[in-house]
Amino acid sequence: MSAPGRRPRMLVVGGTGGLVGRHVRAEFSRDWTIRSLHRHPVPEEASGGIEWIYGDAGTVRDWAPLLDKVDLVLNLAWYRTGPDRRFAPLAEGLVRLIRTSEAVGVRRFVHVSVPDAPERLETGLPYLTRKREVDRALEASRLSYVIVRPTLLFAPRDVLLTVMMRTMARYHRFPMFGDGEYHVSPIAASDVARILRREAETPGRRNVTAGGPERWRYRDLTDRIFRALGRPPKYFRLSHRSSVRLARLLEVFGSSLLYVYEVEWLLSDMLGIPPYEGLATPLAPVTPFLESEARRRRPPPG
């Protein structure tokens, strides 16, 4: 993908300090030169020879100098929540990035997006409407691109399964949203990095979803987390409406534990998407991860 004799170079927009970014660093840094644009310092980048460009992707006016000698652009930047005034400038900056990548002849553009969501969220939630503007701009470009849309991720320090486990460990109870009959297929962040690598190196214009190896009924997964902690599953059951109310209350009090759209998305049963196929070795199941996270939480013997 690069000129003979030199390491290929990538620009990671969003950087290698976030959940996916950390695993991208592990996956690519042995044989790629990485230029990383984001806002907060990441010590592992400095020690790992990664070139950090301080910047907000929403305010970069001219991307051309950052794309000098860049073979691959990988975009990870997005926010988990916030008002439209937060998403709109970021989406505009990313569309400028796409247009400039096209103009300067970037060879491959990889963009991480999200799976389909309920219509009401797709049309009314800036988190999604603005994300789709970026997705569509890339599809309308002449770039060689892939849009990778993973379902919920797991890894140490993730913001979902480890938070659920911490809550269960602390309170010995957990809210059950609705009947728990909907599905999820969690995928390891390290597997998403492997998918990004494979997709970066596979030519073509593609839009792929990426689920993990197992499709869980949600309440079986929460039972399994309790079991990993050595505790009997105990729930306080909430109707669909009360689940949304609880998430709204948490939002009002400034908590980042859970957002209303996340509860609605979960309850819509749209997150149990099929496993990604095509990696040389199998996708990691979630159970060993749960066991190792639970072990870390147990008090030392004696």
Ligand X SMILES: NC(=O)c1ccc[n+]([C@@H]2O[C@H](COP(=O)([O-])OP(=O)(O)OC[C@H]3O[C@@H](n4cnc5c(N)ncnc54)[C@H](OP(=O)(O)O)[C@@H]3O)[C@@H](O)[C@H]2O)c1
Positions touching ligand X (CB under 6 A) are: 14-15, 17-21, 37-40, 56-58, 76-79, 90, 112, 114, 150, 152-153
Residue closer to ligand X, measured from CB, 19 or 244: 19
Residue closer to ligand X, measured from CB, 110 or 228: 110
Determine the length of the chain.
302
Residue closer to ligand X, measured from CB, 2 or 141: 141
| Residue 29, both tokens | 């840094």
Residue closer to ligand X, measured from CB, 14 or 233: 14
* CA dihedral for 285, 287, 292, 296, sign (positive or negative): positive
Shortest separation between residue 172's beta carbon and ligand X, angstroms: 26
Shortest separation between residue 54's beta carbon and ligand X, angstroms: 9
Burial bucket for residue 61 (CB in 10 Å: 0-12, 13-18, 19+): exposed
Residue closer to ligand X, measured from CB, 17 or 175: 17
Shortest separation between residue 237's beta carbon and ligand X, angstroms: 25
Q: Which has the closest alpha carbon to 221: 286, 153, 170?
A: 286
Q: Which has the closest alpha carbon to 213: 117, 113, 287?
A: 287
- Beta carbons within 8 Å of 110's beta carbon, 6+ residues apart: 72, 73, 74, 75, 145, 146, 148, 196, 199, 200
| Phi, psi for residue 111 in degrees, rounded to 5 | -130, 130
Residue closer to ligand X, measured from CB, 2 or 81: 81
DSSP-assigned states of every residue in 180-202: S-SEE--EEHHHHHHHHHHHHTS
Shortest separation between residue 166's beta carbon and ligand X, angstroms: 16
Find the farthest-apart pair of alpha carbons in the chain and give their distance in angstroms, rounded. Answer: 64
Q: How far apart are CA 112 and CA 110, in angstroms?
A: 7
Residue type, 126: P
Q: How far apart are CA 9 and CA 7, in angstroms?
A: 6
Q: At what angle do helices 161-171 and 218-228 cross, to 10 degrees?
A: 60
Q: Which residue minimizes CB distance to ligand X? A: 18
Residue closer to ligand X, measured from CB, 197 or 233: 197
Residue closer to ligand X, measured from CB, 11 or 244: 11
